[in-house]
Structure 1
């Protein structure tokens, strides 16, 4: 059995977009040629690990008469680098009702 103490998942509303310094601290620096390059001891963005890097991720939808419509990616699931190859799929449920944040789903495969 693998050493599961190296496995970690951090998921939630980070109130930061991908160009924010907080995102870089979690997932690494963006390289214009390679996309996001993780630090060796950092977390990996599950969206990137699932191969969705070229697809736009929007998890927050704001509908307010005062400010109009707005969308952004504020919610993430980061996995430890030891779990990156276990991420098989990541998606947002855009049909869910009840919150201004859409549910973010990640499939991890341990088989």
Structure 2
């Protein structure tokens, strides 16, 4: 078996780029690897994820509203055409044509 532990990021110095700003993030070698160089970078990344999530929810809502409008229009058109089929045509004197 190999007793060597591989470097954290593959370049041997133990530093990986910050997920937000790109600065090097020094890794301790134990525990979960850090993703951000500072707490402010972690906070900015969190805020960006929240914004993207809200945009996705708004887009889904807009698509659902558009789909509902299309279905309502299709239902209205189908109802109008079936109503036209049910209308009896009556002449002025009251007799059927």
Same fold (TM over 0.5): no
TM-score interval (norm. to shorter): under 0.3
Q: Which has the larger Rg?
A: 2
TM-score, normalised on structure 1? 0.18
